[in-house]
Amino acid sequence: MRTLGYYAIALQTQALGASDSGLGGNALAWIAASSPLSKGVLFILFLFSIASWAVVLNKLWQFRRLERQTSSFLDIFRRSTKFSEVQSVCRSLSHSPLVGVFQAGYAELNTQLRQGDGATNPGGRPAAAGGRLTLRSFDALDRALLRASGVEANKLEHRVDLLATTASITPFIGLFGTVMGIVTTFQAIGGTGSTNLSVVGPGIAEALIATAAGLAAAIPAVYFYNLLTNKVKLYLSGIEDFSLEFLNIAERNFT
């Protein structure tokens, strides 16, 4: 322990003495001089980090657009008196998950009412006093909405699991690089029979860089995974609420 303490003090002194050359330059020099195995570990961590940040930026942009279009769609849906009016704006708001659910329900509603009343198109919500249109199967409409909700849920969750993978695996990859750096250090000590700082320092530097890189990839992934997962839960709750609202309207007017 005392010897390791001397090494740590010596490394700190050396780092302070070389501060004028910049920490970034030292880190790059250590990476350039590291073993192929350490470079491979850092390259893998770099790929995980780039992939996770790409997912984060893509999802944040997707969810912002989704929220804007969902708000517009709900406003139109609740102000309209006919489903056909809502259907006419679906194409311009196609990125909202509620649009996919609505179109599935509207298609099922059309199909059932055509079967029950020739070529009649439901067109909308109002129910006439005579010749009232009725659904053949309310359960079938419910199943259509559930199936569409599952499709939209899969779209929302697409690639978010990569963040969970990055958060869980990159610390272990960094730990692997740390262990191999320590092993390299002891091999150098055994091969030279010297505990000089020039022998011990490079291995310790490789180990610390791998650990830091693993944490740098994992910490943002954990944060954004939790953030995006919570957003997905809110969107799924909104989809469920919309499905129930659609069913209530259908039940009032077509049963």
What's the pLDDT band for 92 if we cut at 50, 70, 90?
very high
Most confident of 9-13, 45-49, 124-128, 191-195: 45-49
Q: How far is CA 223 from CA 35, 114, 169, 230, in A?
A: 32, 50, 15, 11
Residue 27 has pLDDT above 80, yes or no: no
Q: How far is CA 214 from CA 33, 181, 204, 244, in A?
A: 19, 14, 16, 45
Q: What is the structure's pLDDT at 126?
A: 41
Distance CA 94, CA 179 (A): 50
Distance CA 25, CA 9 (A): 21
Distance CA 148, CA 243 (A): 10
Distance CA 162, CA 58 (A): 13
Q: Where are the beta strands (DSSP E) in the chain?
A: none
Contact 103, 90 (CB under 8 A): yes
Contact 90, 102 (CB under 8 A): yes
Q: What is the 3-state secondary structure (H, E, C) of 110-159?
A: HHHHHHHCCCCCCCCCCCCCCCCCCCCCHHHHHHHHHHHHHHHHHHHHCC
User: Residue 224, class by beta-carbon neighbours within 10 Å (0-12 exposed, 13-18 middle, 19+ buried)?
Assistant: buried
Least confident residue range of 33-37, 75-79, 168-172: 33-37
Contact 224, 34 (CB under 8 A): no
Q: What is the structure's pLDDT at 127?
A: 41
Domain residue ranges in the chain: 1-33, 35-254
Q: What is the structure's pLDDT at 117?
A: 60
Of all residues in the chain, the percent with pLDDT exceeding 90 is: 55
Distance CA 146, CA 165 (A): 29
Q: How far is CA 82 from CA 3, 29, 39, 87, in A?
A: 81, 68, 63, 9
Mean pLDDT along residues 43-56: 96
Cβ-based neighbour number of residue 135 at 10 Å:
19
Amino acid at 4: L
Residue recorded with tokens 């059309």: 110
pTM of the predicted protein model: 0.78
Which residues neighbour 234 within 8 Å (Cβ) at sequence distance 6 or greater?
none
Q: What is the structure's pLDDT at 184?
A: 75
